[in-house]
Amino acid sequence: MNPQFCNSAEHGVSRRRVLGAIGGTTAGLGLGALGGMVQPAVGEELAKSDKQILLLWLDGGMSQLESWDPKPNTRFGGPLRSISTSLPGVHISELMPKTAKLMHHLATVRTMKTEDANHSSGVPKILRGHPKNRGVVYPFWGSAVAKVMGPTKSGLPPYLWVKPGSGGFISKYAGFLGAKYGALALGDGKPPTNLVRPETLSEQNANERRELQQLFNQRYAARRRKGSNEANSYVYDVAEKLMQNQKLFDESLLPDKDRERYGKHDFGRHTLLARNLIEAGVRFVQVTSYGWDTHGDNFNAHASRMPKADQVYAALIEDLIDRGMMDNVLVVMMAEFGRTPRINGSVGRDHWPNAWSLSMTGTGIKKGVVVGETLADGTDVKTEPYDIGAMFHTWYQAVGIDSKKVEFMNGTQPLPIAHDDMAPVKELLA
């Protein structure tokens, strides 16, 4: 790892693989581990929805000044220029020429103002929507969506995370909802190990084993709380469904033109897989790109990374438009914070939650809007600031969830799905 980047908590994901990891987490589930529920009638209705979410996560903190909110020719602007976009009067960084041509399809927020400048605490706060402290560990966004909306009709796992490095089942992301709603991480975009049925095991024998396993499950469930058995059964259901969809992971089946458009780098490969997963019916897919923590050599680092993000985002948007999926899929690109306007002694930018940007498009989102304005030197917001809780309300509303009415149920305790003192950003909603 480049020494100029500090470590995010997300870099230390467990290396346990999915079949072993899920078994380990479900075996020790305590009573009520799956007690976080949504009102049954609401849950059933939302499960019928075809809305999906794709999150592009730029881990470490992308610079807003080298992307969505450039400040050329100012004391903190740096050496890069801004360029015009398909939105009259709106400029973004010269490192994003492909996205600039598609700005009329996007909604951009330039006045994000959050509280935490640390990776280890800031990442989970952003990915949980930074709700009020209720004495419980809230789920990450993907886990919350998996619980509230469930899988689509495809039956594929509702929360998949495509990332560099190792994979496995990350049960802790589900918080109080319980292990069943954790993230299934696809390390380097590869399916879980041991997913292929051994050649020595016929399909008939595999089906007979499955029937026997279901029989044991029923016996197990008769003496235990429903939640524990649900989580245990879920492991096998997920594995079986993925076995039926192994072609999703075969890059050799992808057209060369798609691989070129997205890029053969990790971010491109992983986002192309995410597009296929969304098209196949996964409810929530997160793609992570690491290495955005540019405390040193910020401008060269962004000159290397931003063109890849630009390529990926533009290719994804074009595909969603061409495939008629913009009305069903919400796409968000963000990080845990931005970078300081002040340039440090290592020609880098440090962590900056005071005034940063994010982008979105797709279902329920108004196209061609830029919300908010920062000061001329980028040191603070000039217009109304927005915390991540307001974004969560906005995104839930965009996919058809009334975030002011739908609640989690932690036993008998109702809990809001987004910060109850905040509200959707109306300018972002179609």
Give per-residue pLDDT as tens, 293-346: 999 999 999 999 999 999 999 999 999 999 999 999 999 999 999 999 999 999
Counting beta carbons within 10 angstroms of the beta carbon of residue 99, is it exposed (0 to 12), middle (13 to 18) or buried (19 or more)?
A: buried
Q: What is the pTM of this model?
A: 0.86
Q: How is residue 429 annotated by DSSP?
A: B
Give per-residue pLDDT as tens, 177-208: 988 899 999 999 998 876 666 667 677 776 77
Tell me if 329 sits within 8 A of 320, measured CB to CB.
yes
Q: How far apart are CA 15 and CA 128, in angstroms?
A: 23
- What's the structural domain count of the chain? 1
Q: What angle do CA 60, 66, 68 make, to 5 degrees?
A: 95
CATH of the domain at 364: 3.40.720
**Alpha-carbon separation of residue 329 from 133, 320, 398, 404 (angstroms):** 30, 8, 10, 22
Neighbour count for residue 208 (Cβ, 10 Å): 11
> Within a domain: residue 116?
yes
Most confident of 47-51, 65-69, 214-218: 65-69
pLDDT bucket at 48, cuts 50 / 70 / 90: low
> Within a domain: residue 2?
no
Among candidate residues 342, 350, 351, the one with its CA nearest the CA of residue 379: 342
Q: Which residues contact 135 (CB under 8 A, 6 or more apart)?
A: none
Q: How far apart are CA 348 and CA 298, in angstroms?
A: 4
Q: What is the pLDDT of residue 16?
A: 35
Q: What is the pLDDT of residue 18?
A: 38
Strands 407-410 and 413-416: antiparallel
> Within a domain: residue 1?
no
Counting beta carbons within 10 angstroms of the beta carbon of residue 63, is it exposed (0 to 12), middle (13 to 18) or buried (19 or more)?
A: buried
Q: Which residues are bridge partners to 331 per DSSP?
A: 54, 361
Cα dihedral 167, 317, 322, 365 sign:
positive
Among candidate residues 352, 374, 370, the one with its CA nearest the CA of residue 111: 374
> Within a domain: residue 245?
yes
Residue 116 has pLDDT above 60, yes or no: yes
Give per-residue pLDDT as tens, 247-285: 888 888 999 999 999 999 999 999 999 999 999 999 999
Give per-residue pLDDT as tens, 145-178: 999 999 999 999 999 999 999 998 899 999 999 8
> Within a domain: residue 323?
yes
- Where are any strands of DSSP class E within 20-172? 36-38, 52-58, 82-84, 91-93, 107-112, 159-163, 168-170
Structure tokens at 106: 């996007």
Q: How far apart are CA 66 and CA 378, in angstroms?
A: 12
Q: What angle do CA 183, 186, 192 make, to 5 degrees?
A: 100
Q: How far apart are CA 119 and CA 123, in angstroms?
A: 5
> Within a domain: residue 4?
no
Counting beta carbons within 10 angstroms of the beta carbon of residue 385, is it exposed (0 to 12), middle (13 to 18) or buried (19 or more)?
A: middle
Domain enclosing residue 115, as ranges: 9-428
What is the average pLDDT score of the chain?
87
Q: In three state form, how does the secondary structure of 355-408 look?
A: CEEEEEEECCECCCEEECCECCCCCCECCCCECHHHHHHHHHHHCCCCCCCCEE
> Within a domain: residue 319?
yes
Structure tokens at 341: 């306007």
Q: What is the pLDDT of residue 235?
A: 65
**Alpha-carbon separation of residue 212 from 24, 236, 392 (angstroms):** 21, 12, 43
